[in-house]
């Protein structure tokens, strides 16, 4: 009785440990499998996280580098190109035309200095005078009493400006005569120079010679002039209009030759 009971009682004891070992073994195996899966998942997660970080780092690096490049471009100083002033080039022909003297003026222009001599003014009575003219005859102011008289004083015979002036007055002498006006030219040249001047250019107006400067000084047309910085005395180109009563009607000083004879003629027409 006691043996049988002992054997029956011992069976459950021996059976339980066997069952426990199998279940424990299975539990351990499942635990290991779970751990292995967990490790694999962890590794996968870590790889994915690393890949994610790497992926996130690369775009960040690219995006960071692009603004840096743009910022570096923005910081580069822009070069401002200053507008160059247009260069004026003078052609040789233009310079030649500018330097070429006109046929109306002397090659070496002389400038008249300001003078305040006791010359005749408008309204003044002209004192009587006598001067020799081309051909040897003598001309006096009394010879033109009752007529208007134009006296044009020129610096030197046969110079370009004086030639044009004398030719213009000769060309218009008929128009002046129609207005009751005579025309005389006066300079300090000797009679021989006046006659050469007349013959060379077919001048028709009388040319008077005042080598002593008496009439020149009376009309205050002899004075200081300058040429290339040098001051000298000479005739200042002047025209005087005298009325029939022997008084000065008008005076043109420092005359410009071009169109001057026409200007005097128009002035007389309007009297």
The backbone torsions φ and ψ at residue 151, rounded to the nearest 5 degrees and listed phi first, read -110, 115
From the list 112, 150, 157, 162, the catalytic residue is 162
Q: How is residue 117 annotated by DSSP?
A: -
CB 43 within 8 A of CB 36: no
CB under 8 Å to 200, separation ≥6 — which residues?
A: 158
Evaluate the CA torsion angle 27, 29, 32, 37 in order and state its sign: negative
Evaluate the CA torsion angle 132, 136, 138, 144 in order and state its sign: negative
CB 164 within 8 A of CB 246: no
Show the beta-strand stretches assigned E in the chain.
111-112, 130-132, 138-140, 148-153, 181-187, 207-209, 222-227, 230-235, 238-242, 248-253
Annotated active-site residue 202? The verdict is no
Active site residues: 162
């Amino acid at each position: 009785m006691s043996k049988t009971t002992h054997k029956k009682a011992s069976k459950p004891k021996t059976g339980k440990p066997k069952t426990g070992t199998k279940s424990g073994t299975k539990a351990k195996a499942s635990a290991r499998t779970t751990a292995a899966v967990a490790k694999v998942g962890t590794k996968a997660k870590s790889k994915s996280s690393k890949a994610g970080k790497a992926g996130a780092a690369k775009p960040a690096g690219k995006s960071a580098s692009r603004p840096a490049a743009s910022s570096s471009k923005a910081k580069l100083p822009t070069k401002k190109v200053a507008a160059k002033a247009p260069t004026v080039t003078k052609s040789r022909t233009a310079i030649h035309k500018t330097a070429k003297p006109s046929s109306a003026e002397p090659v070496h222009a002389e400038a008249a200095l300001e003078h305040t001599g006791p010359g005749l003014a408008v309204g003044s009575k002209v004192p009587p005078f006598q001067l020799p003219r081309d051909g040897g005859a003598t001309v006096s102011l009394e010879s033109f009493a009752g007529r208007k008289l134009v006296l044009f004083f020129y610096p030197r015979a046969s110079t370009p400006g004086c030639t044009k002036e004398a030719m213009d007055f000769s060309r218009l002498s008929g128009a002046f005569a129609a207005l009751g006006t005579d025309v005389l030219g006066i300079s300090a040249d000797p009679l021989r120079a006046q006659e050469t001047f007349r013959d060379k250019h077919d001048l028709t107006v009388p040319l008077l010679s005042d080598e002593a400067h008496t009439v020149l000084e009376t009309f205050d047309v002899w004075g200081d002039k300058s040429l290339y910085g040098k001051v000298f005395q000479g005739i200042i180109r002047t025209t005087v209009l005298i009325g029939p009563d022997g008084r000065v009607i008008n005076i043109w000083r420092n005359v410009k030759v071009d169109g001057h004879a026409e200007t005097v003629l128009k002035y007389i027409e309007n009297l």
